[in-house]
Chains A and B, each alone.
Chain A
Amino acid sequence: MKISKEDVLKVATLANLELSEAEVDSYRGHLDEILTYIDKLNELDTFGIEPLTQVVAASEDDSALREDVIVRADIIAEVLEGAPDPEAPYFRVPKVIEK
């Protein structure tokens, strides 16, 4: 077994996900199966191979760097309209700092 229930719970905490008991059980099984499958990568010797993070190399395209210009979007009202608990011009959240 590659992954325990506790591992799933730990990762869920890192990802800020509340999972039900049934979800933890089911994900544990699925992840165990997937991680076991992923182990096949260890058949490959990747010593000295550079990782590929992005297929478009930035050096090929200097225009990717542009001036940092401020453009006013002026969409605060539109953005707040979709927020669950807005108080213009802010988003309200549960209290973070105790007195």
Chain B
Amino acid sequence: MSAQTTWTIPEVHSALQARKISARELVGEFYGRIEKRNAELNIYLALSPERAYAQADRVDAAIAAGDALPELAGIPVAVKDVLSTRGIPTTCGSRILEGYKPAYDATAVTLLEHAGAIVLGKTNCDEFAMGSSNENSAYGPVRNPVATDYVPGGSSGGSAAAVAAGLAVASLGTDTGGSIRQPGSFCGVPALNPSYGRVSRYGLIAYASSLDRIGPFAHTVRDTATMMSVIAGRDTRDATSASVPVPDYSVNLDRPLHGLRIGIPDDYFGEGIDPDVRKQVEAGIALLEKLGCRRVSIRMPNTEYAIAAYYIIATAEASSNLARYDGVRYGPRVSGSTLTEMYQKTRGRGFGAEVKRRIVLGTYVLSAGYYDAYYLKGQKVRTLIAKDFREAFEEVDAIVTPTSPVPAFRIAERTASPLQMYLADIYTVTGSLAGVPGISVPSGKTSTGLPVGLQIYGPAFGEDRVLNMAHVFEQAGGSTL
């Protein structure tokens, strides 16, 4: 039996269980597809066949023994290259980590493998997850499988594209300011950024620690829920992971949406939004209303300050987190006559332009005399943005916005102005700063056939409801609006 391009988790599960295909054959099928398409799409940076086949054999042995198969057993998944994988190259899309093989696995990866999932390899991304187009990868941009002259979004562009192209059944990405949701939107696949603290960050190579999160991409909302049920939860190795109990996220997916209040921030649909994106998201909101949701106009008055606050906080944390890349413990070293010169040359040549730009900005906003004016001010504004969400959730059950003001754009079309690129993160950075969960779910396409994402925000640890709404929306035809 040959595998469909867009095989869902339950479809793979039943095929394995019915012995229509073995896990080993399935892995072979996916590596075959990758071999055919990766040269063009540039999705995978490293493959892990040894580990994948060993895991497949364990799954096949369990099937042969007649064991009950967990839902994720034998599911081929892709993992963003900022997540540590023992013995498998992990570069963060950077030259400075070329050849680095971690000595341990990220908790999210361990949990997926314990549930039987098969890690096919590591996906391309913007260097250290800094970017919105994947063009900041040192290993070249990923191409959007929907339209190959276009970017897949970023920074988790490879993980989004892997699912969209059928080169993985599901994948893990990370989101700091929109890096799961926006590529999900650009590639036309559901993409969930869970609450801060919902998934352990152990083994996630840090960009901005107070914002970084790990979440899933898949073909269906149900599949993202299945992934979430496995990766969520408290981990003693991440002190910021929350003890909030983890529900089975797939149980409540079909609850009717009658009477749910959806908050629409009216000023999110003003200046700067692409007309086709607006039209598709409006159509999505109309569908949610048809499904019984009540539309409520809300105000998020501090949104216009979110980008500025985000780029202070994120770059400040990045400048500190990236200090560890110094040519001593991992990655290539550029020699110098003194220790300092060695550091400077190694970092100057190992980091790409956007990473250096953010390190310089982050170091500047933290430096003597500017800390109060920038970093402290940014954190105070973050308080106000979190308050906007808290107050909104007193009146509504969810907030619905576009995921991105624009659809995918052509490769190299927007590289001239970093600030213009940052401004397009507006709908996602707000939720990042507030720590709340948000899902991007496909809401039809533009007139030229590019996917549009609709974003649903819920209150902190409200993934269950967010997934329920996105699932019912998807089942009602949201993706083909």
Contact = CB atoms under 8 A, between A and B. Distances in A.
Interface of A: 3, 7-8, 11-12, 14-20, 23, 26-27, 30-31, 33-35, 37-38, 40-44, 46, 49-56, 61, 63-64, 66, 73, 75, 78-79, 81-85, 91, 93-96
A27 B329 contact: no
Contacts of B333: 84-85
Interface of B: 99-101, 103-104, 196-197, 210, 234, 236, 239-240, 242-243, 302, 304-305, 307-309, 311-312, 319, 323, 326-333, 335-345, 347-349, 351, 353, 356-357, 359-361, 363-364, 367, 374, 376-384, 386, 417-419, 422, 433-435, 460
Nearest to A53: B379
A50 B384 CA distance: 9
Contacts of B386: 52, 55
Given A14-B367, A23-B353, A75-B103, 20 more contacts: A14-B363, A16-B347, A18-B345, A18-B348, A30-B419, A33-B418, A34-B361, A41-B381, A42-B377, A44-B302, A46-B377, A46-B380, A51-B382, A51-B383, A52-B383, A54-B240, A56-B435, A73-B103, A79-B103, A84-B328
A99 to B, nearest CB: 15
A75 B359 CA distance: 30
Contact of A37 (B99, B356, B364, B419): B419
A94 B337 contact: yes
B100 A84 contact: no
A91 B326 CA distance: 12
Contact of A18 (B243, B349, B357): B349
A11 B434 contact: no
B360 A31 contact: yes
A7 B290 CA distance: 56
Contact of A84 (B331, B360, B434): B331
A73 B326 CA distance: 23
Contact of A17 (B101, B243, B312, B344): B344
Nearest to A39: B308
Nearest to B355: A17
Nearest to B325: A16
Contacts of A11: 360, 363-364, 367
A21 B364 CA distance: 19
Contacts of A84: 327-328, 330-333
Contacts, number: 164
**B interface, over-half SS:** helix
B129 to A, nearest CB: 18
Given A3-B364, A16-B344, A84-B331, A94 B239 contact: no
Contacts of B302: 44
A15 B381 contact: no
A12 to B, nearest CB: 6
A31 to B, nearest CB: 6
A61 B305 CA distance: 30
B304 A17 contact: no
A82 B382 contact: no
11 contacts: A7-B364, A16-B344, A27-B360, A38-B311, A53-B210, A64-B240, A73-B104, A78-B103, A82-B331, A84-B333, A94-B337
B460 A55 contact: yes
A77 B343 CA distance: 24
Contacts of B338: 94
B202 to A, nearest CB: 13
B435 A55 contact: yes
A9 to B, nearest CB: 10
A84 B328 CA distance: 7
